[in-house]
Amino acid sequence: MIECSPSVIVNDDEPGYDLDVYCIPNRYAEDLEKVFILHGLIMDRTERLARDVMKEMGGHHIVALCVLKGGYKFFADLLDYIKALKRNSDRSIPMTVDFSRLKSYCNDQSTGDIKVIGGDDLSTLTGKNVLIVEDIIDAGRTVQTLLSLVKQHNPQMLKVASLPVKRTPQSAACRPDFVGFEIPDRFVVGYALDYNDYFKDLNRVCVISETGKGKYQA
């Protein structure tokens, strides 16, 4: 993962967007600080990432490996754009999907203990172009664990896509090949990113408030 595509940089002093001007469920009114990334921006950026993925990986059978649970929205939208590109292409490249589930968080802190709690037989990835689709990368331990597992099965090509990547010292050492947004080190939710399984239903990426952290603490 040396040559990486450019990303959209969200600065540390980014003010975000006022919650009052968007449709935020009433139950979350006190639980969020601000809207951080708008849904339209997410979709536009995902469409461009799909083009980058096809340019880099579209010459051979692609297996898209979704990291559950937080990655499913980004995964689904990214694949929809990739499929659209395939339909308008002269090339007929097979693409299949697979799923893996890893857990590393308790509340808003990474435990450092990566648990693989789901997923199919990774031997099916041998000889394929494998695209790991992550929800978010901060410390990078989850993706490093999954990369080491996939590499044992000798894929032809192995790349990683993540919608947001937090600007942390740890993430700098494991930057994905395809990055949607580089964001400050804030705990964000929405667009399937969760806090103890809450906030997945938001279609925008938002910053959780201290009130929200306390209310939904495990």
Which residues are known to be catalytic? 138
DSSP labels, 52-102: HHHHHHTTS-EEEEEEETTTHHHHHHHHHHHHHHHHTSS----EEEEEEEE
Q: Which is it for strands 188-189 and 205-208: parallel, antiparallel or unpaired?
A: antiparallel
| Token pair recorded at residue 11 | 């600065």
Q: Which is it for strands 109-119 and 95-106: parallel, antiparallel or unpaired?
A: antiparallel
Alpha-helical (H) ranges within the chain are: 39-57, 72-87, 141-151, 210-215
